[in-house]
Amino acid sequence: MIINNNELKSELNIIEELKNIFEPSNNYIGIGDDAAVLEHNILVSTDAMVEGVHFLRSEASWDDVAYKLFASNASDIAAMGGYPTAYTLTLSLPHYWTNQDHKMFLSGIKDFLQEFPADLIGGDLVRSKEFFASVTVLGKSVSTPCLRSTAKEGDFIYCTGTLGDSRLWLNKIVQKNTLPILDEDYFKKRHYRPTPRIEWIQTLKRFPLNSLMDISDGLVEDLQKLCRASKKSFYIDGDSIPLSEEAIGINNLKEHKSYYQKEALIGGEDYELLFTSPEIINEAELLKENIKISRIGRILPLQEQSFISLQGKQHKASEFKGFEH
């Protein structure tokens, strides 16, 4: 077996290396969560979008690219139990970029900031061979920031909204998957214009949340990150994963249920919240406030193996690989 020592490390390994080398000072909470925590519960996070990695120019419009870029950053702040207050934007413009492209991109930013108000306070413009954009977001925590590393044994695992929606659209467009979905426009919007749960988090923080993050790389993938940080394991009831049943179509769901369930377990970029709590939260009462949450599992002690129960069978977490950069 030949080992290539020059092969780039995985995203997880690179993050762990940075975390070990650059430990934060002054009581900051730094690398490892969705955002860093500064003084007075000020939050800061940064994320990028690269052509060919995060989107295909042939399939995405520039207003949708801009909207999704800001939405993903806002979600990181919600995932720390906060709300965004300001953004900066670094925009790298390729040779093919036109005034119309620029106008469309700005339109997407405007759409997002009108829906989720905060200030765009600065940034930078450069030239490049391919499109690249990076947003840094500042936020403020609602009371104490929530972390990934504080899940407790016995906690109930919850998620917001529905899962797998973004991936179903991506499968249809990129992989040309022919399995039916009833409301295609719904899944297209869920992929290109996700909703960061900024407004919901303020209500959810009425309850004891022991740990919190957002779902960007897939439910199982991200839950493994949370449990790795908390030194715990987990159990997921795959049959309780919330799906967009009406948009999929009831008959479609009955006929291909295992497919839709698997996509919900591994699908990334839904930007729903994933959290744990020592309490059973009344889901029906929250639904009256138009907040949808689902109890989907439990936190287990570290010595137990993480697993997923799906249609009466147990599966190892390693069988459900999410998105890796």
Q: How confident is the model at residue 200 (pLDDT cuts 50, 70, 90)?
A: very high
Secondary-structure class of domain 156-319 per CATH: alpha beta
pLDDT value at 285 more than 80: yes
Residue carrying structure tokens 């800001």: 70
**Could you give the CA distance from residue 170 to residue 166 in angstroms, rounded to a whole number?**
6
**Could you give the CA distance from residue 87 to residue 82 in angstroms, rounded to a whole number?**
14
Mean pLDDT of the chain: 88
3-state secondary structure 131-193: CEEEEEEEEEECCCCCCCCCCCCCCEEEEECCCCHHHHHHHHHCCCCCCCCCCHHHHHHHHHC
pLDDT value at 24 more than 70: no
Report domain extents, the chain: 22-141, 156-319
CA 205 to chain centre: 19
Q: How confident is the model at residue 15 (pLDDT cuts 50, 70, 90)?
A: very low
pLDDT value at 323 more than 60: no
- Joined together, the tokens standing for residue 237 give 């009831």
pLDDT at 23: 54
Q: How many CB atoms lie within 10 A of CB 124?
A: 10
pLDDT value at 32 more than 60: no
Secondary-structure class of domain 22-141 per CATH: alpha beta
pLDDT at 166: 95
Q: Is 156-319 in the same CATH topology as 22-141?
A: no
Q: How confident is the model at residue 20 (pLDDT cuts 50, 70, 90)?
A: low
pLDDT value at 18 more than 50: no
Percent of the residues in the chain that have a pLDDT greater than 90, as a whole number: 70
Please give the average per-residue pLDDT across 253-271, as a whole number: 94
- Helix, strand, or coil (residue 228): helix
Q: Strands 42-50 and 36-37, how do they pair?
A: antiparallel
Bigger pLDDT: 99 or 25? 99
pLDDT at 46: 93
